[in-house]
Amino acid sequence: MNTTSRHKNPLGDISVLYVAVMVRAVRAEGADPTDLLGRFGLDEQALGAPQARISIPRFMRMGQAAITLTGNPALGLTMGQLSRPVDAGIAGLAGQSAPTAGEAIRTLIHYALLTSRNSRGAPWTTNRGREAHFYSIKPYNVFNFFVVDSVLAAWTRFLRIITGHDKVIERVTIEYPSQGMEGVFEQWFGCPVRFGAGSNSLRLAPGIAEAVSLQAQPAMFEKLSGDCQKELSRIRAGWSTGDRIKDLLPSLLQGGTPTLAAIAERLGMAPWTLQRHLAEEETGFRELVDETRKELAVEYIRETRTSLSEIAWLLGFANPAAFHKAWRRWFATSPGEYRKDYLAQQATKGIH
């Protein structure tokens, strides 16, 4: 099976454009980001390469380190405040040139894959751009709270820039539980913020979706949207059927194993057609599920501090014992022993 088009980081990766925003926020808080960048193998020159990416787990650890450095647990809001349309790459430039704010946020989110990819899912909009949703990244912990904060804040800042209005959001819902900062968040967003909600979302204030963008430019919107679509097609070009399945599986594995029929429906084909394509690629659905679990398991063990029971759930195993059994089959050791040895090796290298 062709694996050359598979992702380098199974859990996802993100453009250094967003790291540059984090660095900007650290400086705004009065701290020097030089050592922070060095700890994570980056420098100012690396931030100037727009095609460069880092893994999502590394970005999360870097964000937590930045919060510790600045002493601001709401650093994600500072990142949002300092975000510009260009910080979302070509998708941000296309979005800001859209005719209305609703079309602008739809464009920004529709092409989010051009600058970030997460195995947990992808953002989306509903109600013609009147609501914007960020996927669940359970289990939540100190390493990923700021991700939700920074994304929702950046979307809000984007809408404020292109409309010229401060009151652009009517309601914010955040999936992770309250951290005792409701007042800070409600002041920043200028509306009620509900923590412990069923999803991460923004609801635009009345009339904002229809508001004319101050940056509207029809010719550039058509040109840049076309460029975004071409880039999106290029990313997906050459994927085998197996690649497409393995790209879908991570977010569907959480809590159980999806069926071949469910995957076939997602791909818009009949189950027997999917089976035939896989047979032509000399692979099978169960094999792909096992490969995906193995790839993700290694990343979770190495790159996160997620508990073994949570990893078992994220990979769709019936219970932690089933995950332990699979890990021993893959690596002839236990996941706990593997993580302990790996972290010890990293410590000797001075890698965080």
Domain co-membership, 277 together with 320: yes
**The pair of three-digit structure tokens given for residue 352, joined into one six-digit string:** 């965080």
Domain co-membership, 20 together with 162: yes
Residue 5: inside a domain: no
User: Minimum mean pLDDT among 93-102, 205-214, 227-236, 340-349: which range?
Assistant: 340-349
Domain co-membership, 227 together with 252: no
What is the average pLDDT across 231-260?
89
Reply yes or no on whether the pLDDT at 4 is more than 50: no
Last residue of a domain, one of 233, 259, 276: 233
Q: Kind of pairing, strands 169-174 and 193-195?
A: parallel
For residue range 133-159, what is the model confidence (pLDDT) as tens digits?
999 988 888 889 999 999 999 999 999
Residue 4: inside a domain: no
Domain co-membership, 268 together with 227: no
Last residue of a domain, one of 217, 233, 249: 233
User: What is the percentage of the chain residues whose pLDDT exceeds 70?
Assistant: 97
For residue range 15-29, what is the model confidence (pLDDT) as tens digits?
999 999 999 999 999
What is the extent of the structural domain holding 285? 241-349
* pLDDT at position 46: 85
Domain co-membership, 272 together with 127: no
Residue 7: inside a domain: no
What is the average pLDDT across 200-225?
97
Domain co-membership, 169 together with 205: yes
For residue range 263-320, what is the model confidence (pLDDT) as tens digits?
999 999 999 999 999 999 999 999 999 999 999 999 999 888 889 999 999 999 999 9
How far apart CA 75 and CA 29 sit, in angstroms, is 9
What is the average pLDDT across 79-85?
98
Domain co-membership, 199 together with 284: no
Domain co-membership, 216 together with 304: no
Residue 3: inside a domain: no
Q: Does the predicted TM-score (pTM) go above 0.85?
A: yes
Comparison of pLDDT for 47 and 210, the residue scoring more = 210
Domain count, the chain: 2
Q: What is the CATH number of the domain that holds 273?
A: 1.10.10.60
Domain co-membership, 182 together with 297: no
Reply yes or no on whether the pLDDT at 115 is more than 70: yes
b/e code 99-123 from CB counts within 10 Å (16+ = b): ebbbbbbbbbbbbbbbbbbbbbbeb
Reply yes or no on whether the pLDDT at 6 is more than 60: no
Q: Can you name the residues that pair with 54 across neighbouring β-strands?
A: 14
How far apart CA 246 and CA 198 sit, in angstroms, is 27
Domain co-membership, 201 together with 275: no
Residue 199: inside a domain: yes
Peptide bond into 139 cis (omega under 30): yes
* pLDDT at position 305: 83
- Residue 93 CA from chain centroid, whole number: 20
* pLDDT at position 285: 96
* pLDDT at position 303: 84
Residue 2: inside a domain: no
Phi–psi pair at 202, nearest 5 degrees: -120, 135
- Residue 3 CB neighbours (<10 A): 10
Quick check: helix, strand or coil at residue 203? strand
Last residue of a domain, one of 233, 254, 285: 233
Residue 258: inside a domain: yes
Residue 6: inside a domain: no
Reply yes or no on whether the pLDDT at 347 is more than 80: no
- CA-wise closest residue to 76 among 209, 161, 179, 197: 179
